[in-house]
A and B are shown apart, each in its own frame.
Chain A
Amino acid sequence: MKFLLNTGSTIDEGRLAKGGNKYSEEYKKECAVCWISPEDFDLLGCPEKVKVTSTDGRYSIVVNTKCTDRVMCGNIFMPRAIWSNVVVNPWTFSTGSPLYKGSPVTVEPSDDEVLDAEDVVLKLYYGGE
């Protein structure tokens, strides 16, 4: 299903990131998450995990789901962190700032493993090719 991805801070994301805990389980639990509205969550079949894929289809990331009425139908939210930034649209429209808010993405249920932050760097970025 197609969605618009919104990314942003959450208070615990801030607390953990600023406290230097980006490689902690707690940070992963807070940030490797996709917030989905109850209607869309039902349509997706109430999955525990989803694979979010970037606009151009080149990058995907698997994260846990959180069903919440804080987001509207058709939108998803992910805390700003390495997981969400894997799928953020890298084009900056000649401003230097990527589309951290409002990137079109695809979401599908997944059974794959949710990577640790360090593994995202090592597996996806570092010698990933």
Chain B
Amino acid sequence: MVVKNVVCPVCGGSCEDIQVELKDNSITVKNACKMGNGKFQEVVSEHRIKDPMIKKDGKFVKVSWEEALDKAAEILANSRRPLLFMGSETSCEAQEVGLHMGEYLGGVVDSNATICHGPTCMGIQEAGLPTSTCGVAINRSDLNIYWGTNPLASMPRHMSKYGLFPRGYWTKRGRFDRKVITVDPRKTDTAVASDLHIQLQPNSDYELLNALLTILNGKTPHHSVEQVTGIAISVMEEMVDMMLEAKFGSINVGLGAGSSFGKHRNIEMALNLVKELNNNHGTKFRIGALRGHCNVAGFNQIATYLYGYPFALDFARGYARYNPGETSCVDLLREKDVDAALVLGADLVGHTPADSAKYLCQIPMVCIDIAPGPTPSGADVLLPGVIDAFECDGTFYRLDNVPVYFEPFTDSPFDFTKSNEDTMKQLFAKVKELKEKA
């Protein structure tokens, strides 16, 4: 049977138009991009983690669900300062249980949201966010700017669904009604497909944004900015002209801005540029983060409404504290400041720098995942993950912070858990049992 309107759980695009036909040992997928299709094939893949496992003498041994869950609960309950890492490839509902468990244990709860667009969140806290949903961009934007992002690789359908090709109310001719500027030190496929490619030097986003703001205010920036950014002032002026000619511009920032030198200050400057365009120059702009991971936006949303902070929540004092650089996962691991970890739906060992990854492998770690990889290899207890949007229902937040409710097209392959939310709840109950006994 063909199931329509399935939500894709891979990147922040949360495409909701996927068609799926599941047969005994195969799955046919329509509308998904290469990356999305890769994950859909996981439903029938050979390498799926199907059994709960515990590492004994350096080797994984299959155990019963109860035994694995007991061991996982023991690790967390015995820890003085556990790190609970709620990855993005799962629902808000599962992440919420993690946040409550972190509060109960007095641990730290963090997410991909930190190592992804954490600095973007901090920039927004500094300067406010002049934004809109992607729907507005589809209908109105005649200029699209990709700043420090290569959506053709990180959100492959962004250009066709939101950025470049879609036909909207005031953009009836799609691509023909739009211009595209890409700011990237690399000549990416996105840059090649753009009308203007600003190939800036890495770590010079702040200077370039400042120079654009200066030009916007009718002045000429100091010539040294050409050397710092590698961009001629005449090219910057061309970019500002394109921005001023636009009726409605949409800026999509990627990690190029937030992950390089300057971090949240780069974002703050970009937000100030947008405010200046909106307030004083007769044009309208929106800005939004291009969120490469599935439900990172969701973690920011629920952590903020439950505890007041978007990421890096430290519950050691019984209430939430937020101090990125101290209470964020890469820093905690680098400084060896936690003594156990729970990693749900994220490859933390593969995607943090060596010092942090190495320490994570050395402390007791519980991992909930679907396929082999560096984090499962480094774990002490491995619990099979359920694939959200394929095998259970729940909520993701899309890149523009729009909640998307998803329904499954098949069931959890396990009789011991229905979803990652279910696993987290079972684990939390065990942890409480142990704590109360002690």
Within 8 A of A (CB), among B115-165: 115-116, 118-119, 122, 148, 150, 152-154, 156
- List A contacts of B42 (CB < 8 A): 19-20
Q: Decide if B256 touches A101 in the complex (CB within 8 Å).
A: yes
Flag whether B412 is at the interface (Cβ < 8 A): no
Q: Mark B218-248, 1 if CB is under 8 A from A, else 0.
A: 0000000000001000000000000000000
Q: Decide if B353 touches A90 in the complex (CB within 8 Å).
A: yes
Within 8 A of A (CB), among B354-378: 354-358, 360-361, 370-374, 377-378
Partner of A102, one of B116, B119, B202, B378: B202
Flag whether B349 is at the interface (Cβ < 8 A): yes
Known: A93-B263, A125-B358. A102 touches B330 (CB 8 A): no
Within 8 A of A (CB), among B316-339: 324-326, 328-331, 334
Complex Cα distance A120/B330, Å?
A: 19
Q: How far is the CB of A55 from chain B (nearest CB, A)?
A: 10
Flag whether A11 is at the interface (Cβ < 8 A): yes
The total of interchain contacts (Cβ-Cβ below 8 angstroms) comes to 205
Q: Decide if B377 touches A102 in the complex (CB within 8 Å).
A: no
From A43-51, A77-85, A106-114, give the one contacting chain B. Answer: A77-85
Q: Decide if B260 touches A97 in the complex (CB within 8 Å).
A: no
Flag whether B315 is at the interface (Cβ < 8 A): no
- List B contacts of A22 (CB < 8 A): 347, 350, 371-374
Q: How far is the CB of B315 from chain A (nearest CB, A)?
A: 16
Complex Cα distance A16/B35, Å?
A: 8
Q: Mark B156-194, 1 if CB is under 8 A from A, else 0.
A: 100000000000000000000000000001111000000
Complex Cα distance A31/B35, Å?
A: 15
Flag whether B62 is at the interface (Cβ < 8 A): no
Flag whether A25 is at the interface (Cβ < 8 A): no
Flag whether A70 is at the interface (Cβ < 8 A): yes
- List A contacts of B260 (CB < 8 A): 99, 101-102
Partner of A82, one of B116, B188, B350, B371: B350
Q: Decide if A90 touches B154 in the complex (CB within 8 Å).
A: no
Known: A4-B203, A22-B374, A95-B118. A59 touches B48 (CB 8 A): no
Interface size class of A (residues with CB under 8 A): 35 or more
Q: Decide if A18 touches B10 in the complex (CB within 8 Å).
A: yes
- Minimal Cβ-Cβ distance residue in A for B148: A101
Q: Decide if B354 touches A9 in the complex (CB within 8 Å).
A: no
- List B contacts of A14 (CB < 8 A): 10-11, 34-35, 38, 153-154, 156
- Minimal Cβ-Cβ distance residue in A for B377: A121
Within 8 A of B (CB), among A65-122: 69-72, 75, 77, 80-82, 85-90, 92-102, 117-118, 120-122
Q: Decide if A70 touches B325 in the complex (CB within 8 Å).
A: no
Most interface-central of B38, B258, B329 (chain A CB within 10 A):
B38
Within 8 A of B (CB), among A1-45: 4, 6, 8-23
Most interface-central of B116, B150, B153 (chain A CB within 10 A):
B153
- List B contacts of A96 (CB < 8 A): 110, 114-115, 118-119, 311-312, 324-325, 328-331
Q: How far is the CB of A66 from chain B (nearest CB, A)?
A: 13
Flag whether B39 is at the interface (Cβ < 8 A): yes
Q: Decide if A97 touches B119 in the complex (CB within 8 Å).
A: yes
Flag whether A64 is at the interface (Cβ < 8 A): no
Q: Decide if B116 touches A6 in the complex (CB within 8 Å).
A: no
Known: A11-B152, A92-B331. A70 touches B188 (CB 8 A): yes
Known: A18-B39, A22-B347, A95-B118. A72 touches B199 (CB 8 A): yes
Q: How far is the CB of A10 from chain B (nearest CB, A)?
A: 5
Q: How far is the CB of B220 from chain A (nearest CB, A)?
A: 25
Partner of A9, one of B47, B199, B292, B360: B292
- 20 additional A-B pairs beyond A18-B38, A19-B45, A95-B122, beta carbons within 8 Å, are A9-B150, A13-B153, A17-B38, A18-B39, A20-B371, A20-B373, A72-B186, A72-B199, A85-B350, A86-B357, A93-B261, A93-B263, A97-B118, A97-B259, A98-B356, A99-B259, A100-B115, A100-B259, A121-B378, A125-B378
A-B contact pairs, 20 of them (CB 8 A): A13-B153, A16-B38, A18-B10, A18-B36, A20-B47, A21-B38, A70-B188, A72-B186, A85-B351, A92-B324, A95-B122, A96-B115, A96-B331, A97-B263, A98-B352, A99-B259, A99-B261, A101-B256, A117-B374, A122-B377
Residues of A in contact with B (beta carbons under 8 Å apart): 4, 6, 8-23, 54, 58-59, 69-72, 75, 77, 80-82, 85-90, 92-102, 117-118, 120-122, 124-126, 128
For the complex of A and B, 6 pairs with smallest distance between CB atoms: A20-B371, A96-B328, A94-B325, A19-B38, A90-B353, A14-B35
